[in-house]
């Protein structure tokens, strides 16, 4: 086993860290308070090539493997304090990967270059008001009528929805089969009659990330907008989740690295009872636990990415990755506030925002409770 990064990966990690630190942290407190999406920073990321990291150069991408992409996203999460922007970028990458992996030649040529350039913002619509953890219990339907598909239903909590130009929508095409061969994936563009997007949702955290409800009322789309083949939706969905639990949580690993460095610096500088607070075990043990979580999280994350690069299934590994990193991030943020005391509770120090953002990580991409059930099932229980 070789745990070292190659020259390209080291160079990319350094350049993205510097770029994110210098370019993406402006006016963040104001944007968070007002739930504003930083469009100018989105364009900067597109120009940097971040939106097309794992996409072929033939379609305007950078053509990196998944491990290198995960390392790049980890650097982005470390350098960029705007977790909402990072989440939006990963959502964009995941939508591009779905089209790259399952789309036809026309779809790849028509959509991928625009996605990689950031000219077209994408969203993925799976979750529904009554289908969250049990996502495959969706009710949104797509019926084939007169040589077209007609979509009816609604989706909820969809990342990028209010600002999206194109949405990858999962819907039932054969309700009798549901999970196995009954769900299909469609490309639906903004502006179509019967496609309604609600206002951005007012959230506890990730406030720069735009989430919203999508409603489809007799929304007509061409047959050519089907991604893959009819009934392949569950396969696309499961593959996407493995990629999501790798890339999205790579960004959280970067956030944890930033948090521990902030805590170490503060623990050295802050004096109480005649010595730095880092000398007290109640403080130093919290930082030690953060370091353990970062190192172990990185190992399982990189293993998950490596498995996908080998074109192997990584259902168990990505589930462990998601569960471990999300819970570790939440605990690290709680401990960071405790280490900083009253200062940590103030908006000025920005640690409270990290905590608010971290709570969602234990909910999206499958709750922690669901992942414990998945892991238990995969080990034979």
> What is the predicted pLDDT for the residue at 179?
67
What DSSP string describes 355-371? Answer: HHHHHHHTTTTS-HHHH
Catalytic residue annotation: 244
If you average pLDDT over residues 88-97, what whole number do you get?
Answer: 98
Task: Give the pairing type, strands 122-125 and 166-172.
Answer: parallel
Percent of the residues in the chain that have a pLDDT greater than 90, as a whole number? 95
Quote the tokens at residue 67: 């491990």
Was domain 7-121 assigned CATH 3.40.50.800?
no
> What is the predicted pLDDT for the residue at 133?
85
Alpha-carbon distance 86 to 68, whole Å? 16
Cβ contact 371:324 at 8 Å = no
Q: Tell me whether domains 123-231 and 234-378 share a fold.
A: no
pLDDT, one tens digit per residue, over 251-264 is: 999 999 999 999 99
Query: Domain 123-231 class?
Result: mainly beta
The CATH homologous superfamily for domain 234-378 is: Butyryl-CoA Dehydrogenase, subunit A, domain 3 (1.20.140.10)
pLDDT, one tens digit per residue, over 58-73 is: 999 999 999 999 999 9
Q: Mean pLDDT over all residues of the chain?
A: 96
Angle value at C-alpha 106, between 100 and 111, nearest 5 degrees? 60
> What is the predicted pLDDT for the residue at 180?
75
Domain ranges of the chain: 7-121, 123-231, 234-378
Cβ contact 218:370 at 8 Å = no
Furthest-apart CA atoms within the chain: distance in Å: 80
Greater confidence (292 vs 179) lies with 292
Quote the tokens at residue 318: 């990505």
Alpha-carbon distance 73 to 79, whole Å? 10
Other C-beta atoms closer than 10 Å to the C-beta of 152 total 16
If you average pLDDT over residues 203-222, what whole number do you get?
Answer: 98
Kindly tell me if the per-residue pLDDT of 285 is higher than 90.
yes
| Entry pTM | 0.96
Least confident of 111-120, 160-169, 170-179, 222-231: 170-179
Using DSSP, state whether 125 is helix, strand or coil: strand
> What is the predicted pLDDT for the residue at 18?
98
pLDDT, one tens digit per residue, over 160-170 is: 999 999 999 99
Within 13 A of 35's CA, how many CA atoms are on the CB side?
Answer: 14
Residues 6 or more apart whose Cβ sits within 8 Å of residue 185: 98, 102, 168, 169, 170, 226, 227, 228, 232, 233, 236, 237
């Amino acid at each position: 086993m070789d745990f070292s990064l190659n020259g390209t990966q080291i160079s990319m990690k350094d350049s993205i860290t510097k770029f994110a630190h210098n370019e993406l942290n402006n006016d963040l407190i104001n944007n968070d308070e007002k739930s504003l999406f930083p469009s100018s920073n989105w364009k900067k990321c597109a120009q940097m090539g971040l939106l097309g990291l794992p996409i072929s150069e033939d379609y305007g991408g950078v053509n990196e493997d998944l491990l290198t992409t995960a390392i790049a996203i980890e650097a982005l999460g470390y350098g960029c304090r705007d977790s909402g922007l990072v989440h939006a970028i990963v959502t964009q990458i995941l939508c591009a990967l779905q089209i790259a992996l399952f789309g036809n030649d026309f779809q790849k040529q028509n959509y991928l270059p625009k996605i990689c350039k950031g000219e077209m913002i994408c969203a993925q619509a799976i979750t529904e008001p009554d289908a969250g953890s049990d996502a495959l219990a969706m009710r949104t339907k797509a019926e084939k009528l007169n040589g077209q598909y007609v979509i009816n239903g609604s989706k909820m909590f969809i990342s990028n929805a209010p600002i999206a130009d194109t949405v990858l929508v999962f819907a039932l095409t054969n309700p009798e089969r549901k999970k196995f061969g009954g769900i299909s994936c469609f490309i639906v563009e903004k502006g179509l009659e019967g496609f309604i997007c609600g206002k951005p949702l007012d959230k506890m955290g990730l406030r720069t990330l735009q989430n919203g409800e999508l409603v489809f009322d007799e929304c007509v789309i061409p047959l050519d907008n089907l991604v893959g083949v009819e009934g392949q939706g569950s396969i696309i969905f499961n593959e996407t989740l493995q990629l999501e639990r790798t890339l999205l949580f790579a960004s959280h690993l970067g956030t944890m690295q930033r948090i521990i460095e902030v805590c170490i610096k503060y623990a050295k500088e802050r004096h109480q009872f005649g010595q730095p607070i880092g000398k007290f075990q109640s403080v130093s043990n919290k930082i030690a636990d953060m370091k353990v979580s970062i190192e172990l999280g990185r190992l399982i994350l990189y293993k998950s990415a490596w498995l996908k690069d080998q074109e192997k299934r990584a259902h168990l590994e990505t589930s462990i990755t998601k569960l471990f990193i999300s819970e570790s991030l939440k605990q690290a943020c709680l401990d960071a506030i405790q280490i900083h005391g009253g200062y940590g509770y103030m908006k000025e120090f920005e640690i409270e925002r990290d905590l608010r953002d971290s709570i969602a990580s234990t909910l999206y991409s499958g709750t922690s409770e669901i992942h414990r059930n998945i892991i238990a099932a995969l080990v034979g229980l």
